Amino acid sequence: QVQLVESGGGLVQPGGSPRLSCVASGITFRINAMGWYRQAPGKQRELVGVITSDGSTNYADSVKGRFTISRDNAKNTVYLEMNSLKAEDTAVYYCNVNGYGYGWRKYEYWGQGTQVTVSS
């Protein structure tokens, strides 16, 4: 069974620099990308950052220059280094893994989400 285990969320002061981690297990397909999304209260889920199998990255404009996504392919783990946190970064952060298997069947899984609250 595929499982995405997230860690690193919690209450963080403005300007803080936590790191979120997501470890994927039970993966039986080829991973295309791993990434982080977030959803703030009353808002739609949005991309924060994604890293593809070839190492290319993409970030939301709101986090460019502040957040860094990285991965450890051997461990099927993706990280999100968050720097200079602002109140508007407060959201539930979700880990995402997608890929494909036999016959180009597509797979996509989400973590349960981890709350990041930026407050003094």
78, 110 in Cβ contact below 8 A?
Answer: no
What local confidence, expressed as pLDDT, does residue 24 receive? 95
Q: What is the mean pLDDT of each run of 10 residues along the chain (120 residues)?
A: 96 97 95 96 96 95 97 92 97 97 95 96
pLDDT at position 74:
86
User: How are beta strands 77-82 and 91-100 bridged, if at all?
Assistant: unpaired
Sign of CA dihedral 62, 40, 33, 8: positive
Query: Cα dist. 22→50, 65, 86 in Å?
Result: 13, 21, 22
Counting every residue written for the chain, the total comes to 120
Cα distance between residue 19 and residue 2, in whole Å = 23
